[in-house]
Structure 1
Amino acid sequence: MQRIAVLGATGSIGSSALDVIARHPERLQVCVLAAGGRVDALLALCERHRPAHAVIADPECYAPLRDGLRARGLDTQAHCGDAALVDLVASDACDTVVAAIVGAAGLDSTLAAAAAGKRLLLANKESLVLAGELLMRTAHEAGTTIVPIDSEHNAIFQCLPDAHAHAGLARIVLTASGGPFRGRAREALAQVTPEQAVAHPKWSMGPKISVDSATLMNKGLEVIEAHHLFGVPGARIDVLVHPQSLVHSLVEFVDGSTLAQLGLPDMRTALAVGFGWPERIASGVAGLDLLAHGRLDFEAPDLDAFPCLRLAFAALAAGGTAPAVLNAANEVAVSAFLQRRIGFLAIPALVEDTLAALPSTPATSLAALRDADAQARRYAGQAIDHKA
């Protein structure tokens, strides 16, 4: 029986993971559920899945979680805070961890799972963007299997099953839906509202990730992720806009062959790969009927209208602390946009200004990366306050 911790259980990826787990009660079992501050949603999940442990990040939510579990007659043990979560994922409470906490907040628990040799289903982009070298080195030393859950990286994972495939790799091509504003000129984006930005045409995601998709920063972060996950330099990673979102990524080899992974845009496929690999298990997702869909279109991304993708490539090329600065400034900018404190086009402008103000330094330790993250957040926050 595979014992699973779902971190970010009340989010869209957590919901998809729990759906797949519920389809395989004979081999998959939820043992730990973790959430940020949505106590009622976490309690409902505990009532349905009966985990041994439930963790809430917000200290003010601990008592409602503890009392709610008791009121429902559940044996689930309540925990609070990041330290408790780190201890649980490193313990024998689980052997598989779904890392789906959004933002830099998911870094410590992800690193703990990697260091403990767990099977790590990785959906937390920031762990790789902020500390990719450290995470991959930790996973290698502990013998950790990392299965990326982003559909794009999961596609590449499926196309590169062994070292022989990596040896003949020429380039990776990540696909992007283009988000809700594909085809719009830069000037047409000035009045975009948060409601429009989170209305993704293909995916149901949280607000932060949805805005990242609308700016193409999401794809930029995925470029940095792919570099770390597959050991490929940025010069050999390309991005194509593919509005149908059926081809999830492509891998080109030195002999001229190109492999692609196709499927309906549903995160449960990638999660089923993660839980079952190297076996295949049912995900609840239907097969792909290409005749029904009719066509597959591809186009180059518009880096003038969506400069966040260009900024991510530049941060990857700069190396060191630059990706951490990029990520932190983007988190601050997206939060301000969702609060209607800045406009949509101010997001890339703020990220670019922060990168220029805080030149890259060597990423010699996690402490150095955290310091760069903190500096970037301070700088971006002060810039927003000044403009306001």
Structure 2
Amino acid sequence: MSQLKIAVIGLGAIGSATLLALARLGIKAEGFEQYRVGHEFGASGGKTRQFRFIYGEGDVYTPLLKRSRALWQQLEQEAEQPLFYPCGFLTIGTPDSPWFQACLQSAQQQGLPHSVLSREDIAQWYPRLNLDADEIALHDPAGAILLTHQTIMSSVRRAEALGARVNEKAKITGITQVEQGIHLEVNGDVLHFDRVLVTTGAWVRDILPATAVASRRLGMTFHLAEKSGFDIAQFPAVMRVTPGRAMWNTQPMPDGQSFKFFVGDAEIDEQKDPSVRAVSGSAALSETIIERIDRILPEAVNGAERAIVGGATYPEAYTFDQAPILGNSADKPDLFLGVGLSGHGFKLSPALGELLAQAVTGRIDLASEWPLFDPERSFAEPTAAYSR
């Protein structure tokens, strides 16, 4: 099995994790990236992503989150640099918020450490956060932030050290199933592989147009602290989920002097308008998003400068049921997909990459063990609802 010739197309969060997982299995896989490894143009752009254990999306994800954290910590030791910053995670909502209730029930049913904090508790322990009078918060002590570009580059470099080969600025123009394996057209050449994994995120429909995903361009901004209280000990990662009010997320930055802010609007949403491609859209923030951030930021956070000191939009691929697509294609049995991560991607990428590596080498049957992710499952009607 170690003689299999395997290609991984796309070396973002899931692709880099899959390449590393294959290398740890002794498979000298070959990775292809259309830009440079660790670039800013895909779903991993924007410096950081959040991590949490308490997951309203479903208890099925909890073992994957636990495995991911162990793999992140292993990679951090191997890279000999900080990649994972524990800071806690808060889900803010009213007590009857459906999403808040889903998170609380998940924590209770699985025995995950957690605490419910009042508005007064938040004012004492996290004074830079603003809550409405009827809101409370669910604290997840396992919450953290991850450095996206560093972790991707560390994963790829570790895979290379274990024997993987990496090709940057590689343009994929064709994928053809043959009698045994896949013919891959790369920069005008035709290469043969026994198995091919496509982990190209929002670009998947450029090479596999029928894939059941749609992409969105989500804007994130960076702001400076005006007062103290923005270090990771006092400013956790946060998601606000109160129905009928502005959805927002925020995360501390490791420097303790700045933070990231996101409002739940998409610049481009292919589920609403399939004629507009997210990957072809501008990375610049629109005036509409800038105005919303300028209005919502002081409602969410105090003691911060309102000026945007950095920010852009990034394309993320979503499925219609908001569960990833993992597994092989029915019409191309040697072609495996790891796409449509639907907002789960970065935090889960080490565990999902491990699953893909095991599946492509025949160690597990993803369709039977993880039917939630089956590429051949029936999808619900498209919806533009955001859960993350």
Instruction: Give the TM-score normalised by the residue count of structure 1.
Output: 0.29
Structure with the larger RCO, 1 or 2 (CA within 8 Å, 6+ apart): 2
Tell me the TM-score normalised to structure 2 length: 0.29
